[in-house]
Amino acid sequence: MPSIPQPLVPGDDGGADPSVAAALAGFAALRADASVVAAALSTARLLVPVVALLTQAEVGEHGLRQEKESEMALPVLVGADGRRAVPAFTGMESLKLWRADARPIQTLTPQVCRAALGEDAAAVVVDVAGPVPFAIEGALLHALASIGKITGDDATLEPVLAALSEHAEVTVARVPARKPGLLTRLRRRA
């Protein structure tokens, strides 16, 4: 008999990991750089949204169109330049800011990054609707995806920090807060 999978973090209240929230707040206030956020995210639980997509409708007995069949799907963000990104959220509050009807799936940051690469996405965008959007792309995306089993000790952070130091071409471009809708992004130097 198949068993129902247990949640990644039993008893999860849906709140953001305090270390991730602090790192993102420091990043937004220009007190911390991307490596601080990467280190906090490397062991963090994120919420990946799934949404219902209507695949088949029918007209009900009262003459109204109604759902007959639907599927759950992982939404993908598409930038103006055509690049695709997978959205992920630090907690339920930031997920609801983006889309209140999305259902959360618990996952670890490295798993989200591996899934994004598997979907040929160029980035994972954390908290796209705020409070502090952060894009994981390029060398950072690959570094976080390369992390194996997460134990929370310093040894699991070494691949991320080594990748960041090996890829000195990763720089941070900050978007002024007065320009809503734009993302904080990591870019490679040309």
Tens of pLDDT, residues 140-162: 998 889 887 445 555 555 655 55
Strands 134-137 and 170-173: unpaired
Number of domains in the chain: 1
Q: What is the pLDDT of residue 92?
A: 95
Is 11 part of any domain? no
Could you tell me if 184 and 132 are in contact, meaning their C-beta atoms sit under 8 angstroms apart? yes
Looking at the domain assignment, is residue 57 inside a domain?
A: yes
Average pLDDT over residues 127-140: 93
Percentage of the chain modeled with pLDDT above 90: 43
> Between the CA atoms of 150, 18, 165 and 171, what dihedral angle is there, to the nearest 10 degrees?
130
101 falls within a domain: yes
pLDDT higher than threshold 50 for residue 190: no
Is pLDDT above 60 for 131? yes
Which residues, including other chains, have CB under 8 Å from residue 84's CB and lie 6 or more apart? 76, 77, 78, 119, 120, 121, 122, 123
In a domain, 10, yes or no: no
90 lies in some domain? yes
Cα(27)–Cα(171) distance, rounded to whole angstroms?
Answer: 13
Q: Which of 74, 26, 19, 13 is nearest to 44 (CA)?
A: 19
Task: Let me know if residue 171 belongs to a domain.
Answer: yes
Tell whether 35 is covered by a domain. Answer: yes
Average of per-residue pLDDT values in the chain? 76
pLDDT tens figures, 47-61? 999 887 656 666 777
φ and ψ at 54, to 5 degrees?
-70, 125
- Pick from 11-25, 151-165, 168-182 the range whose average pLDDT is largest: 11-25
Mean pLDDT of 75-79: 88
- Residue 13 included in any domain: no
Q: Which domain range does residue 43 map to?
A: 18-188
DSSP character at residue 89? B
